[in-house]
Amino acid sequence: MSKVLIIGAGGVGGVVTHKCAQLPEVFSEIVLASRNEAKCKAIAAQLSRPIRTAQVDADDVPALTALLKQEQPELVINVALPYQDLTIMDACLEAGVDYLDTANYEPLDTAKFEYKWQWAYREKFAQAGLMALLGSGFDPGATNVFTAYLAKHYFDEIHELDIIDVNGGDHGYPFATNFNPEINIREVTAECRHWEGGEFVTTPAMSKKAQFTCPDNVGTYNIYRMYHEELESLVVNFPTLKRAQFWMSFGDSYLKHLEVLGNVGMTGIEPINFNGQEIVPIQFLKALLPDPSTLGPRTKGKTCIGCVVTGIKDGQRKTVYLYQIKDHQDCYSEVQSQAISYTTGVPAMIGAKMMLEGKWQKSGVWNIEQFDPDPFMADLNEYGLPWQVVELDSFDLDS
């Protein structure tokens, strides 16, 4: 029986709150806090069980610390934005509360997607006897656990990893992003980095394209190699990896809009002066785009996200694909959200459950693949994200 405080009432915050509320035996008390409390109340009104809500600016460490000291949760689930990771970690240290997030810290002025700022908190959390679990969403999150699960059960040594994230959903808008537009566009327009031969190799954004046919008739999609934050921790925690790449599907319309927006400067993260007012172009663009949390009712189709791992077992080279397929409309009927928020929110709830049940409990700051993958994988099957494993005869994204 444990109390959690969830920060952030966006698309992912809504799903985490729904999923925690479905498990009163684990999450006995829930407080949902965000910058705008009205959004928390709107989510609370969808639930069949009462939760409490609060207003907090998570950039304000003293205010957040005061809230944590007053509420005394066992764990904070941070599903605000990556900009708030460090202030929330600071408040957790001040108030003596464990911490979990789904995306690594990012400074407002540089789109870096690096763990170094949060890894620097290892000593502080260890000394305080507190735990921080980083990246407990889908990717990062489930994809890290998939890699750990394959390494544990299917291989003696893993050599190549391809994380493939396909969203076959259609929301009917010419251009919209499935999660926070600012974070999404920063991620997609960043230079690509992949791991090869013991180092990260940089190539221009979207410069490598392949086709991938998803299992179970989800379809064939164009996928593009890009940098994604889980690569950084996975190559550290699985040092036998010789190559690690991340791929995401994008439709032609999305890419065309992104190119034009980039060309006219609308995706910039540097402030500009407009009529005497400082404006960050990408933040202005976010204000114009559909709110991702409103895409749920209109999004149809499926997501298919998984890991293809090649390695050695008993002296033989083999390739195994572990994947999860989720239908957008099924998510909407369960928790009033599309599958991108759903596939992030469920692993956040499961990561929290692992910590509260003591299955994953260790002082310090940890990436999710550093724990035993088995109980997490079992819970994915139990709580809405069933997965499959297949051995592949051949796999080549270069051809």
**Residues lying near ligand NDP in the complex (CB under 6 A):** 7-13, 34-36, 39, 56-59, 79-82, 84, 102-103, 137-141, 179-180, 183, 292-293, 340-341, 344
Shortest-Cβ-distance residue relative to ligand NDP? 10
CA 387/CA 304 separation, integer angstroms: 10
Q: Which is nearer to ligand NDP, 155 or 193 (CB)?
A: 193
User: Cβ contacts of residue 85 below 8 Å, gap of 6+?
Assistant: 78, 101, 103, 104, 105, 106, 117, 118
Nearest to 100 by CA among 130, 71, 64: 130
Give the nearest distance from C-beta 295 to ligand NDP in angstroms: 10
| Residue among 137 and 311 whose Cβ is closer to ligand NDP | 137
Among residues 158 and 248, whose Cβ is nearest to ligand NDP? 248
Q: Which residue number, 187 or 319, has a Cβ lying nearer to ligand NDP?
A: 187
Write down the least CB distance from residue 95 to ligand NDP, Å. Answer: 16
Distance in Å, CB of 25 to ligand NDP, minimum: 26
Q: At what angle do helices 11-21 and 328-335 cross, to 10 degrees?
A: 60
Q: Any idea what DSSP says for residue 206?
A: T
Nearer to ligand NDP, 32 or 356 (CB): 32
Whole-number minimum distance, CB 397 to ligand NDP, in Å?
A: 21
Q: Which lies closer to ligand NDP via its Cβ, residue 73 or residue 292?
A: 292
Nearer to ligand NDP, 158 or 305 (CB): 305
Query: In the complex, what is the shortest distance from the CB of residue 84 to ligand NDP, in angstroms, rounded to a whole number?
Result: 5
Distances (CA, A) of 128 to 32, 121, 364, 383: 25, 11, 8, 32
Cα separation, 265 vs 134, in Å, equals: 32
Contact 299, 338 (CB under 8 A): yes
Rg (CA), the chain: 20
Closest CB 15 distance from ligand NDP, rounded Å: 8
CB of 139 or CB of 379, closer to ligand NDP = 139
CA distances to 177, 224, 255, 340 from 252, rounded to whole Å, are: 14, 12, 5, 19
Tell me how far apart the alpha carbons of residues 24 and 232 are, in angstroms, rounded to a whole number. 35
Q: Cα–Cα distances in Å, from 106 out to 16, 125, 147, 269?
A: 22, 20, 24, 12
Give min distance, CB of 398 to ligand NDP, in A.
26
Contact 227, 194 (CB under 8 A): yes
Task: Identify which of residues 40 and 151 has a Cβ nearer to ligand NDP in the complex.
Answer: 40
Shortest reach from residue 197's CB to ligand NDP, in Å? 27
Shortest separation between residue 347's beta carbon and ligand NDP, angstroms = 7
Distance CA 243, CA 233 (A): 13
Would you call 129 exposed, middle or buried from its count of C-beta atoms within 10 A (0-12, 13-18, 19+)?
exposed
Query: Residue 347: is the preceding peptide bond cis (ω within 30°)?
Result: no
